[in-house]
Homo-oligomer: A and B are copies of this chain.
Amino acid sequence: MAIDILINGQATNTFPVDDRGLQYGDGLFETIAIKNGKLLCWDSHLERLVISCRRLQIPFTDLIALRQEAELLADKHELAVLKIIITRGQGGRGYTPPANPVPSRILATYPWPEYPTAIREEGVATIICNSRYAINPLLAGMKHLNRLEQVMARMECEELSIREGIMLDINNAVIEGTMSNIFIIKNKQIMTPELSQCGVKGVIRKYIIDTHDVLIKSINIDDLMQSDEIFLCNSIMGVWPVTKLNDKQFKIGALTKLITQLFIKQGYII
């Protein structure tokens, strides 16, 4: 499915089986939009990657090679997706990392997903998934490779032919979509869940927080259901208005439209 793959700078599609990415999900990833040969929001993606490596104590420092390889792959494409995986590298049996781990970097380009453009005008129908996020500040916010919760939640969406599902944590707090962050608007106040206990701090979420008056707070199901507008976002899909959540209809409101337009103008959304 990948177009090009570079593993530690080499064009190959195979990987050492003793890499800790496979053995323990011991690593993290980024998913980046390529538009006209450029990597959108590169600095934000790189910042999250570096911060997450530090939190996981993965001594990844090949930032120059990473940048060069990412640009090399991006240069070929008008529109594509770049996925970067950084793992702690090869290791022995057992959870203990080697004394001096040599991290692996995997860069792969993929075709741009064929989301109908109508989604932006007509919105999406969503559900609240049964699969929940565990609560753990140790791993919260990072785009690490331990993603079984989202995989399980995605399977629920697929079974119902729903484009996106909304995930709660085990205490019923609203966290995010299975592949997106969530924003709600009530009385013109934009709000998004605080993600100190679980979830992924997305690059587009950060951009919206940095450029708008956003209240970051704990959001429960009642807040969600009683909001005036709901939208979802990620680096590839951009902004998706929610027009149905379980059995309730929602309108695409003025603020959601404004943010969508801003993104289109800035070139953040294709």
Residue in B closest to A99 when the chains form the complex, CB atoms: B158
Residues of B within 8 A of A26 (CB): 147-148, 151
- 1/0 per position for A88-126, CB-CB distance to B under 8 A? 100111111100000000101010010000000000000
Closest B residue to A131 by beta carbon equals B138
Min CB distance A2 to B, Å, is 6
Residue of A16, A108, A113, A145 with highest tally of chain B CB at under 10 A: A145
Q: Complex Cα distance A1/B149, Å?
A: 31
Q: In angstroms, how far is the closest chain B Cβ from the Cβ of A235?
A: 12
Is there a chain B Cβ closer than 8 Å to A136's Cβ?
yes
In the bound complex, CA of A132 to CA of B198 (Å) = 13
CB contact between A138 and one of B24, B83, B136, B152 (< 8 Å): that residue: B152
**In the complex, how many angstroms separate the beta carbon of A90 from the nearest chain B beta carbon?**
8
Contact pick for A95, options B56, B144, B154, CB 8 Å: B154
Q: Tell me if A17 counts as interface (CB < 8 A to partner B).
A: yes
> Contact: B92 with A1, CB < 8 Å?
yes
Closest to A110 in B: B93
Contact (A149, B139) CB under 8 Å given A93-B83, A179-B95: yes
A15 close to B (CB within 8 Å): yes
Is A148 touching B144 in the complex (CB atoms < 8 A)? yes
Question: Which residues of B have CB within 8 Å of A2?
Answer: 17-18, 93
- Is B92 in contact with A110, judged by CB distance below 8 angstroms? yes
Count of chain A residues with Cβ under 8 Å from any Cβ of B?
66
8 Å CB interface, A53-91 against B: 56-57, 81, 83, 85, 87-88, 91
Residues of B within 8 A of A139 (CB): 134, 148-149
**Residue among B93, B134, B137, B198 making CB contact with A1, cutoff 8 Å:** B93
- CB of A56 within 8 A of CB of B152, answer yes
> Can you pick out 25 interface pairs between chain A and chain B where the beta carbons lie within 8 Å of each other?
A1-B18, A2-B18, A5-B17, A7-B17, A12-B17, A13-B17, A17-B106, A18-B108, A22-B85, A22-B145, A23-B145, A24-B151, A25-B145, A25-B146, A25-B148, A26-B147, A26-B148, A83-B93, A92-B110, A95-B178, A133-B136, A134-B134, A134-B135, A138-B152, A139-B149
Minimum-distance CB pairs A-B, first 8: A25-B25, A134-B134, A134-B136, A146-B146, A14-B14, A24-B147, A1-B92, A95-B154
Additional A-B contact list (12), CB under 8 Å, known A15-B22, A96-B158: A14-B15, A22-B145, A31-B93, A83-B93, A93-B110, A95-B153, A132-B136, A132-B138, A134-B134, A134-B136, A134-B138, A135-B170
